[in-house]
Amino acid sequence: MMDGTQTAGAVREEIDDLYFVPHGPQPLRVLAIEAHALLPRLLARLPAARVTAVTRFDGLGLPASLAGRVSLVRADTRVQALPLPKGSYDIILAPHVLTEALDPYDTLLALSRLLTDVGRLATAFLNVRCCDVLAGLQAGEFPFRAQRLYAKAEVVRLLNDALFKEITFAPGAQAAAPRGAAFRACGFDDTSHDLTTRVWLVRADRSTGAVAALKSLYTKETRAELARVLHRIEYGVRAEENIERLQALCTREGIFRDYLEDFVREVVTHPARLSGIIERLRLT
């Protein structure tokens, strides 16, 4: 698991729920959960996307402008599994899932399984360490009856347990800076402007950046065959035969030396056993 926080320069209040959704012509498969208000801007960012919108509200339909561009599913993700195939989405946009989930772990795990192995979840959460919340607690107030609040460390643990590998935060809505300064003076840690951030935006990836890059160049079937051959060579199972298979696979699929070396480092337990063998191969 990896995590990071994007806070280059001053905190940017204009960051919103689509911050971690890419722009471009890619025909990505997007699952948008309780995000109807974001659909027009989502499709403007990704005009070729195939979007499935999920809502639990019976009276909430799709505007005519989105007809034919978005599929609608009626389901309550808080209490039921979505009737959708596993591994079928590149992006899940679910800005309220952490705040509204009845069982956050089960909900996140179910969403993780709907993503491809290089898929991404874009979500957000209310920050329990925000100075406004802390000031309310000082006054004996905590007016959050139907909403969950989190600290960043707990969100990292939840997403890690739900099989996400790389987690990135960006600051969303902000609180007043002077109030945050008062809590810093009392000894509260304020890493990455945590005390003045009401809402943290979250990007959670199913693979680390390095692994995602490896998976993007060749098909799942090619990567699986490559892993099988490498593991057999690693443990001496018909080594010469499998070295020939490795050479043939690399030639057929155009696997180049740098890629193979990176792949070995990621999937092989004892990469030193293959270093001399890879040097012998005829690779580009």
207-223 confidence digits (pLDDT tens): 876 666 666 678 888 98
pLDDT for res 113: 94
pLDDT for res 284: 74
Q: What percent of the chain has pLDDT over 90?
A: 65
Q: Is the pLDDT of residue 19 over 60?
A: yes
Q: Report the pLDDT averaged over residues 147-166.
A: 94
pLDDT for res 6: 62
pLDDT for res 22: 92
Q: Which of 41-55, 166-180, 199-213 has the lowest mean pLDDT?
A: 199-213
Angle (CA) 107 195 180, round 5°: 155
Q: Is the pLDDT of residue 36 over 90?
A: yes
Tell me how crowded residue 235 is: count the other CB atoms within 10 A of its CB: 11
Q: Is the pLDDT of residue 11 over 50?
A: no
The Cα 121–Cα 203 span in angstroms is 6
Q: Report the pLDDT averaged over residues 184-195.
A: 93
Q: Report the pLDDT averaged over residues 263-271.
A: 86
pLDDT for res 63: 83
pTM for the whole structure: 0.75
Would you place residue 54 in the very low, low, confident or very high pLDDT band (cuts 50, 70, 90)? very high
Q: Report the pLDDT averaged over residues 46-54.
A: 95
pLDDT for res 9: 42
- Alpha-carbon distances of 144 from 77, 128, 255, rounded to whole Å: 20, 10, 54
The pair of structure tokens assigned to 191 is 């890493």
Angle (CA) 262 156 145, round 5°: 155
List the one residue out of 137, 132, 123 whose CA is nearest residue 16: 123
Residue type, 151: A
Tell me how crowded residue 172 is: count the other CB atoms within 10 A of its CB: 24
The Cα 159–Cα 167 span in angstroms is 8
Sort strands 199-205 and 115-127 into parallel, antiparallel or unpaired: antiparallel
Q: Report the pLDDT averaged over residues 111-131.
A: 95
Would you place residue 12 in the very low, low, confident or very high pLDDT band (cuts 50, 70, 90)? very low
Residue type, 13: E
The Cα 153–Cα 129 span in angstroms is 11
Q: Report the pLDDT averaged over residues 128-156.
A: 95
Average pLDDT of the chain, as a whole number:
89
